[in-house]
């Protein structure tokens, strides 16, 4: 849910249900890297309430689009980590196999 | 930008150790918030299958029904299928009843002790309706003695005692109950960078060097038997306890060693309960993080603050 104004779309507070520090902190980090963002922070109103409020203020672009771009960036990074981890696993297994073969020949 | 620092958006991964239930890897060129998100998802949001409903027909053991039901719930079940299963609350095939092939797995246990010998009822006695979901086998394949191959003890029975039950296992996440957590421990630490001031170190006697090396509770430093120089043998063993720094100051040699925690390099250790392989646990966590991001990115649920919140709308605009 977005709490903002049609007159100034560059400042908005997004209230996300069923999210916590896991999501909010990583999005905050990603958004703070974006040169269009002048302020980004989050708060959890109450620990018993499954809700997180993310405040985004930009240099002029709609806060909503900037948040979506931040999520997109983070998704690309996750995809990259996934493929890198897959490659690292393949490399590790190959190294292990080579080591075992060397041990056998000895 | 945060403090003018721009991190590379594309982290690097290097695997140090990989077993079925243990993984150790390096995650570089990223921030603590990303590393922590990954850790939290692995612990609390990667789904597994665990026993959630127990119908006890006969129980003449010394443990009461709910005690046994609780113990059954905590038995880890192989959960490679969990990611593709449905949550029983979302299952349309059984109207959220949680008793169909798409969202649940049925287990049966029927044991009766007929001898004077105490009978151990273990996870091996649970029979599954789905061969892909079964209690995790912790036994050592090389061990031949039956003691190592008996599974997780549920209850012990004496002569004449009987336990007969039906259990339903469902998909869930660690956030709802710890029995659904696939991770035993997931930790990360900043990679330490240790620089010894060689000039200052040369001013110490061999005895002082030995004393300084021994002040570290973990084996980080060692004295080279040939050159008598102090060297770093295992930087990662350093636990940020500052003992060596305090010792150096006490010896009147501040700056003897400089220890920096690299803010963009993390060493992860992942221990799995056996429900999911450690490597798969990491991949599943990344997938779930992506799903969460996608859900927010594609949501179109917007409320005009001016209409809904009146005066608060002005505050939202920064007015």
pLDDT, tens digit (0-9, with 9 covering 90-100), for B22-49: 999 989 888 899 999 999 999 999 999 9
Number of folded domains that form chain B: 1
Over 70: is that where the pLDDT of A60 sits? yes
Report the CATH number that the domain containing residue A76 is assigned in CATH.
Answer: 3.30.1360.10
Report the CATH number that the domain containing residue B123 is assigned in CATH.
Answer: 2.170.120.12
**pLDDT the model gives residue B7:** 41
Counted across chains A and B, CB pairs separated by less than 8 A come out at 140
Number of folded domains that form chain A: 1
pLDDT digits (tens, 9 = 90+) for A6-23: 677 788 889 888 888 999
Q: Which residue has the higher pLDDT, B77 or B31?
A: B77
The C-alpha atoms of residue A67 and residue A34 are separated, in whole angstroms, by: 10
Instruction: Name which of B25, B293, B306 is nearest A88 (Cβ-Cβ).
Output: B25
**pLDDT the model gives residue B198:** 82
The C-alpha atoms of residue A53 and residue A56 are separated, in whole angstroms, by: 10
- A68 chain-B contacts, CB cut-off 8 A: 296-297
Residue B109: closest CA among B161, B156, B54, B164: B164
Three-state SS at B192: strand
**pLDDT the model gives residue B3:** 46
Structural domain containing residue B135? 48-181
Q: Is residue B204 part of a domain?
A: no
Over 50: is that where the pLDDT of B308 sits? no
Q: Is residue A102 part of a domain?
A: no
Selected for mutation to probe chain A from B37, B40, B314, B315 (highest A CB count within 10 Å) is B37
Rg from Cα positions in chain A: 21
Over 80: is that where the pLDDT of B8 sits? no
| Beta-carbon contacts of residue B90 (< 8 Å; ≥ 6 apart) | B96, B103
Q: Is residue B100 part of a domain?
A: yes
**pLDDT the model gives residue A99:** 73
CA distance B175 to chain A (A): 11
Q: Is residue B249 part of a domain?
A: no
Q: Is residue B127 part of a domain?
A: yes
Q: Is residue A25 part of a domain?
A: yes
Average pLDDT of every residue of chain B? 84
Q: Is residue A106 part of a domain?
A: no
Work out the angle at residue B291's Cα, subtended by the Cα atoms of residues B286 and B294, and round it to the nearest 5 degrees.
Answer: 125
pLDDT digits (tens, 9 = 90+) for B43-59: 999 999 999 989 898 99
Average pLDDT over residues B235-260: 89
* Per-residue pLDDT band at A3 (split at 50, 70, 90): low
Q: Is residue A105 part of a domain?
A: no
Q: Is residue B313 part of a domain?
A: no
Structural domain containing residue A37? 2-97
**pLDDT the model gives residue B299:** 74
- A64 chain-B contacts, CB cut-off 8 A: 302
Over 80: is that where the pLDDT of B310 sits? no
Selected for mutation to probe chain B from A9, A47, A88 (highest B CB count within 10 Å) is A88
Residue of A nearest to B309 (CA): A3
**pLDDT the model gives residue B75:** 94
């Amino acid at each position: 849910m977005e709490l903002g104004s049609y007159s100034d779309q560059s400042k908005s507070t997004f209230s996300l249900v069923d999210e916590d520090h896991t999501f909010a902190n990583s999005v905050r980090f990603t958004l703070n890297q974006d040169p269009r963002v002048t302020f980004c922070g989050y708060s959890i109103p109450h620990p018993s309430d499954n809700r997180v409020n993310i405040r985004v203020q930009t240099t002029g672009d709609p806060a909503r689009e900037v948040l979506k771009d931040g999520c997109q960036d983070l998704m690309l990074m996750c995809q990259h980590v996934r493929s890198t981890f897959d490659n690292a696993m393949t490399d590790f297994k190959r190294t292990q196999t080579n080591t075992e073969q060397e041990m056998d020949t000895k | 930008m945060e403090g003018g620092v721009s991190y590379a958006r594309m982290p690097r991964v290097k695997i140090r150790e990989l077993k079925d239930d243990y993984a150790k890897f390096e995650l570089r060129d990223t921030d603590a918030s990303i590393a922590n998100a990954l850790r939290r998802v692995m612990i609390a949001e990667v789904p597994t299958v665990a026993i959630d409903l127990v119908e006890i027909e006969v129980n003449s053991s010394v443990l009461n029904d709910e005690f046994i039901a609780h113990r059954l719930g905590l038995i880890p079940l192989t959960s490679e299928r969990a990611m593709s299963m449905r949550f029983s609350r979302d299952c349309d095939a059984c109207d959220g009843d949680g008793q169909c092939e798409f969202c649940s797995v049925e287990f049966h246990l029927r044991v009766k002790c007929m001898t004077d010998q105490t009978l151990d009822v273990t996870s091996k006695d649970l029979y599954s309706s789905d061969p892909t979901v079964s209690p995790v086998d912790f036994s050592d394949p090389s061990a031949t003695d039956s003691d190592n191959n008996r599974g997780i003890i549920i209850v012990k029975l004496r002569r004449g005692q009987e336990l007969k039950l039906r259990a339903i296992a469902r998909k869930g996440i660690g956030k709802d109950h710890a029995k659904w957590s696939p991770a035993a421990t997931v930790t990360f630490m900043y990679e330490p960078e240790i620089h010894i001031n060689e000039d200052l170190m040369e001013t110490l006697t061999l005895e002082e060097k030995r004393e300084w090396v021994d002040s570290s509770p973990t084996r980080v430093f060692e004295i080279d038997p040939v050159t008598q120089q102090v060297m770093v043998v295992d930087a990662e063993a350093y636990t940020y306890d500052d003992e060596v720094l305090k010792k150096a100051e006490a010896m009147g040699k501040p700056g003897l060693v400089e220890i920096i925690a690299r803010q963009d390099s993390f060493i992860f250790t992942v221990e799995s309960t056996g429900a999911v392989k450690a490597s798969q646990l990491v991949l599943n966590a990344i997938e779930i993080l992506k799903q969460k991001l996608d859900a927010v990115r594609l949501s179109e649920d917007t409320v005009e603050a001016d209409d809904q919140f009146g005066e608060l709308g002005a505050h939202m605009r920064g007015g």
